[in-house]
Structure 1
Amino acid sequence: MRIAIVAAMLMLSGCATYVPVPLASDSNALEKPVASVLEQSASAVERPWLKPVSIDLSKPLGLDAIATLAVANNPDLAALRARRGVAQAQVFAAGLLPDPTFSIGASKVASGPDTMLDVSGALGFDLNALRTRAVRRQGAVAQGEQVRLDLAWAEWQTAGQAKIQAVRIEQLQQIVSLAKKSRDSARSLLDRNERASARGDIAGDRLQAARVAAFSADDTYNTAAQSLVTAQGDLRRLLGLRPDQPLALAPIPDIASPPPASALFGLAEKNRTDLAALREGYAAQEAAVHKAVLDQFPNLGLTLNSQRDSAGNLLLGPAVDFTLPLWNRNRGTIAVERATRAALKAEYQARLFQTRADIAAAEAGVRTALQRKADALAGIDRIEHFAAASRTAADRGDLSLEAAESAEQALRDRQIQLAQAQQDYDEQMIALELLTGTPREAWPQ
């Protein structure tokens, strides 16, 4: 009896215990760590496609620092990392052996010559679980690797999106500054024309033209300012920062032109972790098909029976139970798993096709942005010289102020076109980098 009690205590000592972990209901759960904690956690991030960089939120952040901070602090990535623990637990569970079953019973003779209790016991083992253990573990390992690769792809995409917002903010700040000067100039011209119209010095159509110009300048400025605010908010969200967190950005360096799209597609097929994740998912499905085929064979169960009947006879013997594969033979499950495998193969081919198309479209977008940039640069020196000369002439009284402001507005319009073209080029280049799954430094020259 003591041995049985000790054995029961040992078995119970290895059992897990339940501890509730309630969700936080107060606003403190939304507070992010202080800057020093963020800088330390970001500096500890190691990814093969990230350059080593130290984070200092009090200084302007470059593209590498922005990418590192996004990987370290993005809340969506933190949730995905927590989900990865589920896949790791599934790999652990797939390697465990099933516990044996035990049963015991006793019955008393209600009438008859025998006076002893009829006592029986049985110890059972699930042999089918042993047969499929290897293939189940193989599938779980592949699924765990798929989750890891999906997380790596999410990190790559998040870092790239943060860099896109950074280059967008730099150009939008320049556009907003130019649009504000245009708005102020248009408002000043409208004010002068309104006073001149009140004196009867100009015709009504000139006043109306000034009003239209002022309205257009206001609309351009408001649109650019709103786009800048949106981009700044999106960047803070991607970096996991509070909406009121001060954030300064370093100047964005020039981005070199890309190689041909055919070379980039080869890089994407080799290095994109989402494609690697799909391959791991296909491997997991192969294991599922293999297991379904194994499950068509009889499910074996072994039981060791022991009994003492009411006459005192001791009985001992094994028993084997199995399912006869006559009609079902697990054909339905096999068909489902094979169809799922075929669907995953088609999905992988579709992803490859889409990857090639996206890279070609992004490469075409880069060429278009380069042409727009070249068109904006063409003759800008002449426009700038003409605007400066017009202002000088207006200051001397040789030219009307309206003509000088018109020349300066033409220069600002061209500068806005140049900033927009540069923004499109930088965004398309980063998008192309995201599509290849490969840093630009590793692209073929």
Structure 2
Amino acid sequence: MTDTAILAVLRNPDLKAARRKRDVAAAEAFAAGLLPDPQLSANLDHPTTAGYMNGYGAGLTLDLRSFFTDATAKAIARDRQASLNMDILWQEWQTIQQARSLYAEKYFAMEKLRLLQNTVNLYAIQSKHAQKALKAGDATLDQAGSALVALMDARGGRDTQQRALLDINHKLDALLDLSSDTDVPLRSLGNPAMPTDDDVYAALALLPQRRPDLIALQTAYASQEETLYKAVLEQFPDISVGFNAARDTSGVHSIGPAVSLNLPVFNGSRGQIAVAKATRAELRQEYQARLDQAHSDALTLWRQTQLIARQIKAVQKSIPQLQSLAASAGHAYNAGDFPAQTYVAVESGLLKKKMEYLGLQQALWTNRIALDALLAWPPDFIAARNQERMDFKHAH
């Protein structure tokens, strides 16, 4: 399962496209660190009155505002780049969850298909005996018809499961960017490693420092703080300084400095400040809402996971009894001491219980994988933690 998740991160087309955004962010960060070029101006005056010469002028001007806002612009670009990196990491995290979920879906779909095929085989036996009994006059038409309908229903359930498996394969191939004829090898899945309450609450406490999407919002908020600071700096007059040299049409030469500035009377960057403040407040609210939702979802999911784990234990206890009963029924049926209909009913009950067990197992895996993503746990983190606890217990 872990190998499939790694393959998804490496090959997924959407992630490849998302990673290209890093180059754009790096280019924007580079551009933010560049100072503006000086401006060169020149003019030529040609007199139309006799007795005068051509006049000319040249000037070099430099905008000083960028020298004061350069550090802030760099900080904004760096924070945006960091936020983008965390967003991409969160996409990778979600892709890992999706790959693991599809892996589990495929495994349990194949296991269910195997049980459903066994069910078809059972009802085929029942229908065959019912048809034979009908011809011999030992069964009614209703009994034979009911057995045939049960067989048709079993085949329908199997066919539906085959289509579901085909759909899962298509989704997994698309996620891994594999051709449709590529088969993803599966390993047997037992029950997933279960965390403790302490593990869950410790992860919730560390969520702001661990979950990539929350870190991305934190860096986006920091970037917006810098944007607000830059807007405040831009309230001050934009000053440009320069040096001019000129000759007028009468031959008089002149040189001297030049200063120009805008007067922040009507605008004064008030609009940019208002937008920056509103955006900052929006990011703060979004971060808190995301954090609260993560806490709520994780706790709900954890309670559901614990319930499913208890239900699995209860089902596990009942299966050996049914297996023993089915084995006895099978021996009696093969010896001719047990009617086919009763034998099929016993075996069918066992298969239904196994299907229930597989459904609970799949639900447990689905919840555990989702919990890993919500709490920013690596795929094998809890298994490793449980092993550490076991080793510590044995050592002491």
Aligned residue number for residue 296 of structure 2: 357
Aligned residue number for residue 86 of structure 1: 24
Shift in Å at residue 433 of structure 1? 0.6
Kindly provide the amino acid, as one letter, of the partner of residue 135 in structure 1: T
Aligned residue number for residue 279 of structure 2: 340
CA contact (8 A) 2:123 2:150 kept: yes
Matches within 5 A, 1:109-188: 109-114=47-52, 116-188=53-125
Aligned residue number for residue 321 of structure 2: 382
Between 1 and 2, higher relative CO (CA 8 Å, sep ≥ 6) is seen in 2
Aligned residue number for residue 2 of structure 2: 64
CA contact (8 A) 1:258 1:363 kept: no
**Cα displacement string for residues 227-269 of structure 1 (whole angstroms, at most 9, x for unaligned residues):** 2222222222222211211321223354221222423312323
Aligned residue number for residue 284 of structure 1: 223
- DSSP-derived class of the 1:379 partner: helix
- DSSP-derived class of the 1:378 partner: helix
Selected match of 2:238 from 288, 291, 299: 299
Distance 1:362 1:376 in 2: 21
- Judging by fraction of residues, say which structure has more helix: 2
Aligned residue number for residue 202 of structure 1: 139
Please, what TM-score do these two structures have when normalized by structure 2?
0.91
Distance 2:145 2:311 in 1: 32
CA contact (8 A) 1:105 1:121 kept: yes
Distance 1:153 1:195 in 2: 62
Aligned residue number for residue 320 of structure 1: 259
Distance 1:139 1:66 in 2: 37
Shift in Å at residue 379 of structure 1? 1.8
Distance 1:270 1:104 in 2: 57
Aligned residue number for residue 229 of structure 1: 166
Distance 1:346 1:217 in 2: 53
Kindly provide the amino acid, as one letter, of the partner of residue 228 in structure 1: L
Aligned residue number for residue 50 of structure 1: none
Q: 1:101 to 1:376 in 2, by over 3 A?
A: same
Please, what TM-score do these two structures have when normalized by structure 1?
0.82
Matches within 5 A, 1:249-264: 249-252=186-189, 254-260=191-197, 261-264=200-203
Selected match of 2:355 from 416, 420, 440: 416
Distance 1:75 1:432 in 2: 25
Aligned residue number for residue 393 of structure 2: none
CA contact (8 A) 1:267 1:437 kept: no
Shift in Å at residue 198 of structure 1? 5.3
Distance 1:362 1:264 in 2: 14
Distance 1:263 1:129 in 2: 46
Selected match of 1:239 from 176, 179, 199: 176
Shift in Å at residue 98 of structure 1? 0.8
Shift in Å at residue 419 of structure 1? 1.1
CA contact (8 A) 1:268 1:438 kept: no
CA contact (8 A) 1:182 1:412 kept: yes
Distance 2:21 2:214 in 1: 20
CA contact (8 A) 1:176 1:224 kept: yes
CA contact (8 A) 1:259 1:443 kept: no
Shift in Å at residue 301 of structure 1? 1.5
Structure 1: 5+ residue runs without aligned partners? 1-62
Distance 1:344 1:384 in 2: 58
- DSSP-derived class of the 1:310 partner: coil
Shift in Å at residue 200 of structure 1? 4.4
Distance 2:46 2:208 in 1: 73
Kindly provide the amino acid, as one letter, of the partner of residue 8 in structure 2: A
Aligned residue number for residue 26 of structure 1: none
- DSSP-derived class of the 2:34 partner: coil
Distance 2:185 2:179 in 1: 14
Distance 1:307 1:253 in 2: 88
CA contact (8 A) 1:125 1:303 kept: yes
Of stretches 206-215 and 243-252 in structure 1, the one that deviates more from structure 2 is 206-215
- DSSP-derived class of the 2:297 partner: helix
- DSSP-derived class of the 2:259 partner: strand
Distance 2:206 2:149 in 1: 51
Q: 1:268 to 1:222 in 2, by over 3 A?
A: farther
Kindly provide the amino acid, as one letter, of the partner of residue 109 in structure 1: P
Kindly provide the amino acid, as one letter, of the partner of residue 318 in structure 1: P
Of stretches 417-426 and 371-380 in structure 1, the one that deviates more from structure 2 is 371-380
Aligned residue number for residue 97 of structure 1: 35
Aligned residue number for residue 37 of structure 1: none
- DSSP-derived class of the 2:56 partner: strand
Aligned residue number for residue 60 of structure 1: none
Distance 2:350 2:315 in 1: 10
Kindly provide the amino acid, as one letter, of the partner of residue 67 in structure 1: A
Structure 2: 5+ residue runs without aligned partners? 390-396
Shift in Å at residue 431 of structure 1? 1.0
CA contact (8 A) 1:106 1:118 kept: yes
Kindly provide the amino acid, as one letter, of the partner of residue 371 in structure 1: R
Distance 2:149 2:237 in 1: 84
Distance 1:253 1:316 in 2: 87
